[in-house]
Amino acid sequence: DAKTTQPNSMESNEEEPVHLPCNHSTISGTDYIHWYRQLPSQGPEYVIHGLTSNVNNRMASLAIAEDRKSSTLILHRATLRDAAVYYCILRVLAAGNKLTFGGGTRVLVKP
């Protein structure tokens, strides 16, 4: 399975930006980078995904390095509701586009 590496946890202050790094050095040209998050006692929810270019949506921004070996999820203004585990996942074409979740990064937002 294609592997991603994320820090176990990060802390942020409310209303400040949060930058969540993800390393994926074995990524291949057809693998998409997906981010999901899981709030306490809920199922994961989709956040954003991208292939090569940076992506923005109402929830977050995804910055992808030029060599695609790393990416960063950016929450522009963290709120208490953003406290969750954030998963960086490679969707691998060769593996039937299966999503393989790692351990994720637990984000704590302090008021």
Does 45 interact with another protein (rule: CB under 8 A)?
A: yes
Interacting stretch for another protein, rule CB under 8 A, among 20-28, 61-69, 73-81, 102-110? 102-110
Alpha carbon distance 111, 97 (integer Å): 38
Among 44, 64, 82, 107, binds another protein (CB under 8 A): 44
Q: Which is nearer to another protein, 48 or 78 (CB)?
A: 48
Q: Is 42 in the site for another protein (CB under 8 A)?
A: yes
Closer CB to another protein, 69 or 98, in the complex: 98
Instruction: For residues 68 and 58, give the distance between their C-alpha atoms in angstroms, rounded to a whole number.
Output: 23
For residues 48 and 58, give the distance between their C-alpha atoms in angstroms, rounded to a whole number.
9
Q: Does 29 bind another protein (CB under 8 A)?
A: no
Q: Identify which range of 13-21, 45-53, 54-62, 68-76 contacts another protein by CB under 8 A.
A: 45-53
What single string gives the DSSP state of each residue in 58-107? SS-EEEE-TTSSEEEEEESS--GGG-EEEEEEEEEGGGTTEE-----EEE
Which H helix or E strand runs over 103? Answer: none
Which residues bind to another protein, rule: CB under 8 A? 32, 36, 41-46, 49, 85, 87, 91, 96-104
